[in-house]
Amino acid sequence: MIAANLENIHARIAAAARAAGRAPADVTLIAVSKTHPRAAVLAALAAGQAVFGENKVQEAEAKFPIPGAKLHLIGALQTNKAAQAVRIADAIDSLDRARLSDAIEKAAAAAGRLPELLVQVNIGDEPQKAGVPLAAADGFIKASRARFGAALKGLMCIPPEGVDPLPYFRRLAAMADVHGLAVRSMGMSGDFEIAIAAGATHVRVGSAIFGARPARDSGSALLNLT
Q: Spell out the residues 6+ positions from residue 127 whose beta carbon is closer than 8 angstroms to its own.
A: none
Alpha helices in 127-217 (DSSP H): 134-148, 166-178, 192-197, 207-210
Which of these, 44, 8, 9, lies nearest to 27 by C-alpha position? 9
Q: Which stretch binds ligand PLP (CB under 6 A): 40-48, 64-72, 106-114, 183-191?
A: 183-191
Q: Does 158 bind ligand PLP (CB under 6 A)?
A: yes
* 207 contacts ligand PLP (rule: CB under 6 A): yes
Beta bridge partners of 99: none
Among 124, 131, 199, 206, binds ligand PLP (CB under 6 A): 206
| Binding footprint of ligand PLP, residue count (CB under 6 A) | 15
Neighbours of 110 (CB within 10 A): 11
x/- binding map, residues 26-45, to ligand PLP, per CB under 6 A?
------x-x-----------
Going through 77-151 in order, the beta strands assigned E by DSSP cover: 91-95, 116-122, 132-133
Span near ligand PLP by CB under 6 A; candidates 65-73, 135-143, 164-172, 199-207: 199-207
Q: How far is the CB of 224 from ligand PLP (least distance, A)?
A: 12
Positions touching ligand PLP (CB under 6 A) are: 32, 34, 55, 74-75, 158, 188-190, 204-208, 221
